[in-house]
Amino acid sequence: MRANRIDQNQPEIVKQFRDFGCSVLIIADLKNACDLIVSKHGRSIFVELKDGKKPPSARKLTPGETKFKSVTLGIWRLVETEKDAQNVINELNSTLAIPMRWDK
């Protein structure tokens, strides 16, 4: 069994999320899932990383990634560049979509 390859830009993107106060769970080794779960302020976003420097044909979602995107009930975002990552950070910081808390 060989380990999944990570996207070339993963270390930089993960660092960017963490530098802006996000919690990042790297799940790239899970089959048929996204690469990261990025959280802040009680909100989480599923993030699929692709290297924006590669040609579009090399950035296509795998069948497993496509299925995950279609069945997840959470927020899913594709991140190819640092600008895309900043958009996710802005979304997590947004006051327009504060999650409901279900306290007992």
**Interval 50-59: pLDDT, tens:** 999 999 999 9
**Interval 24-79: pLDDT, tens:** 999 999 999 999 999 999 999 999 999 999 999 999 999 999 999 999 999 999 99
Asked whether residue 98 is domain-assigned, the answer is no
Residue 102 has pLDDT above 60, yes or no: no
Instruction: Tell me the CA distances in angstroms from 33 to 8, 28, 68, one per residue in order.
Output: 18, 7, 6
Q: What is the CATH number of the domain that holds 47?
A: 3.40.1350.10
Nearest-angstrom CA–CA distance, 98 and 34: 23
Asked whether residue 1 is domain-assigned, the answer is no
Token reading at 82: 């640092």
Instruction: Say what percent of the chain tops pLDDT 70.
Output: 87
Instruction: Tell me the CA distances in angstroms from 25 to 58, 60, 64, 101, one per residue in order.
Output: 24, 22, 19, 21
How many domains is the chain built from?
A: 1
Q: Quick one: DSSP state of residue 59?
A: G
Q: Taking the model in full, what pTM does it have?
A: 0.86
Asked whether residue 3 is domain-assigned, the answer is no
Bridge partners of residue 48, in order along the sequence: 78
Asked whether residue 65 is domain-assigned, the answer is yes
| Residue 28 structural domain | 10-93
Asked whether residue 101 is domain-assigned, the answer is no
